Amino acid sequence: MKTNRVITLSRQLGSGGHEIGKLLAERLEIPFYDKELLVEAARQSGFSREAFEAADEKPTNSFLYSLSVGSHMMTSAYTDYSQFLTNDQLFLKQAEAIRRIAGEGPCVIVGRCADYVLRDRGDLLSIFVHAALDIRVKRIMKLQNLSEDKARAYVVKADKKRGNYYNFYTGKDWSRADSYDFCIDAGKLGIRGAERMIEEIVRLADLGYPEA
């Protein structure tokens, strides 16, 4: 199946959003970006990948953050270390990378407020992947080899961080269904079931809807 769509996936930790996005991109034969987006943002901006990784999906911490990473964020092309980047500036550079990637053709992008950055594109489909907390905790226990209590605390903290990041930069609510085109419960459908559901959504969107 071919598509001309740009598809963004926001996801709760442990819901399987990364795996779903990767499977979807493989099925649609289009590029996939998750952490790869940070590499691309670094390449396009000339700043180090470590700077983007340190600020990844974290709301602004501005000056304190800049001091904490300071001289590590610049590449050899940027020798003036007084030019600190804040999280806000890194977000803007990451947004530029997202727009450029989407402008090159259909793709799947996970997280990083991509649905908001690309909100004016007519070919965009934004998806939110979620699952019940207990299901996500069990998944993280297995993936990270954590106790139930530690996994639960990790999931809750990560969700809060992602929500704060999204809310801060978009002015929308990360957890509200109306922030996205579609919401998929991967806990009920499973990884492959959720991927197939999104694939069907893409197919129907490509066909277009008949007028009433």
pLDDT at residue 179 above 60?
yes
Nearest-10 crossing angle of helices 36-45, 87-103: 100
Q: What are the distances in angstroms from CA 206 to CA 118, 124, 130?
A: 18, 11, 24
Contact 20, 185 (CB under 8 A): no
pLDDT, tens digit, 9 for 90 and up, residues 40-79: 666 666 666 666 666 666 665 543 333 333 333 333 333 3
In the structure, what pLDDT confidence band is assigned to residue 208 with cuts at 50, 70 and 90? confident
Q: What is the DSSP letter of 76?
A: T
pTM attached to this predicted model: 0.81
Residue that is written with structure tokens 């509200």 in the block: 176
- In this prediction, residue 81 carries a pLDDT of 33
- In this prediction, residue 86 carries a pLDDT of 72
Amino acid letter, 82: S
The angle formed by the CA atoms of residues 142, 185 and 94, to the nearest 5 degrees, is 80
pLDDT at residue 29 above 90?
yes
**Sign of the Cα pseudo-torsion (103, 108, 114, 118, in order):** positive
Q: Is 184 in a helix, a strand, or coil?
A: strand
Contact 41, 160 (CB under 8 A): no
pLDDT, tens digit, 9 for 90 and up, residues 73-117: 333 333 333 334 577 877 888 899 899 999 999 999 999 899 999
